[in-house]
């Protein structure tokens, strides 16, 4: 049965059913991927938001958006292919570049009070953790799912979901180290570009985790 666009529906269910919902949720700081099981009403109340206004934004975004694929309707191999060929490939390319940019900013602006001290080491740690996570998915989980044995993968899925929670905490730390990804007035072009790319990384990671937690894992465990 299709999910209704109402405040009692969960963030995750709306993000699956209405592609525009994820954009609206992120705009308001609502975690629809790792903590997507919460009803919209409760999540909005926690952040001081009016749930009906948020739902109205989703309605407008859906109306103004071009037709988008609902990954919940696509064959399982297509979903896995999207994750590996797009999200995993992007992370493997982008993360080392972000580490390099962050360390450059710290070296050049170490004397400034606004310098995001520790951001390079933090991103290096995040890169290591994420690459290990991607390798684990590609070598252990995805072959099992593609072989139609998803119902046997419950323990592995649980471990991966817990690692997704760690990624969410890492994204929160990124924002604390960077003044909520807001460059100061004295920021150089590299500093500003770093924050823009970190914002893009956060958006893609949320889409990525949502596609795994709320689409792929759900379907696979029911196989």
pLDDT of residue 73: 82
Residue 95 and residue 53 in one domain: no
**Span 157-188, pLDDT tens digits:** 999 999 999 999 999 999 999 999 999 999 99
Is residue 3 very low, low, confident or very high in pLDDT (cuts 50, 70, 90)? low
34 inside domain: yes
Residue 192 and residue 144 in one domain: yes
116 inside domain: yes
5 inside domain: no
Domain count, the chain: 2
Is residue 4 very low, low, confident or very high in pLDDT (cuts 50, 70, 90)? confident
Whether the pLDDT of residue 1 is over 50: the answer is: no
Residue 118 phi/psi, 5-degree rounding, is 95, -5
36 inside domain: yes
Residue 50 and residue 83 in one domain: no
Burial (CB count <10 Å: 0-12, 13-18, 19+), residue 211: buried
Is residue 38 very low, low, confident or very high in pLDDT (cuts 50, 70, 90)? very high
Largest Cα–Cα distance of the chain, in whole Å?
Answer: 58
4 inside domain: no
Predicted TM-score of the model (pTM): 0.81
Residue 116 and residue 135 in one domain: yes
* Residue 161, domain extent: 74-221
**Span 114-153, pLDDT tens digits:** 999 999 999 999 999 999 999 999 999 999 999 999 889 9
Quick one: average pLDDT of 7-24? 88
The larger pLDDT score, comparing residue 195 to residue 63, is at: 195
Residue 59 and residue 81 in one domain: no
Q: For residues 91 and 94, what is the distance between their CA atoms, to the nearest angstrom?
A: 5
**Mean predicted lDDT score pLDDT of the chain:** 91
pLDDT of residue 68: 54
Residue 100 and residue 200 in one domain: yes
**Span 67-96, pLDDT tens digits:** 456 788 889 999 999 999 999 999 999 999
3 inside domain: no
Burial (CB count <10 Å: 0-12, 13-18, 19+), residue 17: middle
pLDDT of residue 69: 62
Q: For residues 124 and 164, what is the distance between their CA atoms, to the nearest angstrom?
A: 17
Residue 17 and residue 96 in one domain: no
Residue 139 and residue 157 in one domain: yes
């Amino acid at each position: 049965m299709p999910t209704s666009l109402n405040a009692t529906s969960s963030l995750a269910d709306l993000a699956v059913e209405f592609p525009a919902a994820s954009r609206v949720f992120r705009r308001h700081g609502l975690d629809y991927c790792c903590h997507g099981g919460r009803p919209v009403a409760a999540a909005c109340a926690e952040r001081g938001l009016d749930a009906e206004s948020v739902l109205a934004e989703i309605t407008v975004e859906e109306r103004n958006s071009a037709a988008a694929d609902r990954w919940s309707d696509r064959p399982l191999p297509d979903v896995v292919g999207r994750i590996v060929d797009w999200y995993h490939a992007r992370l493997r390319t982008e993360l080392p570049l972000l580490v390099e940019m962050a360390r450059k900013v710290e070296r050049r602006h170490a004397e400034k009070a606004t310098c995001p001290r520790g951001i390079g080491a933090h991103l290096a740690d995040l890169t290591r953790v994420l690459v290990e996570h991607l390798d684990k998915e590609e070598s252990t989980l995805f072959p099992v799912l593609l072989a139609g044995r998803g119902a046997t993968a419950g323990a592995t899925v649980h471990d991966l979901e817990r690692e997704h929670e760690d990624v969410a905490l890492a994204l929160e730390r990124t924002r604390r180290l960077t003044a909520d990804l807001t460059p100061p007035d004295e920021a150089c072009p590299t500093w500003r570009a770093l924050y823009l790319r970190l914002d893009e990384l956060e958006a893609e990671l949320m889409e990525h985790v949502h596609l795994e937690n709320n689409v792929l894992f759900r379907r696979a465990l029911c196989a």
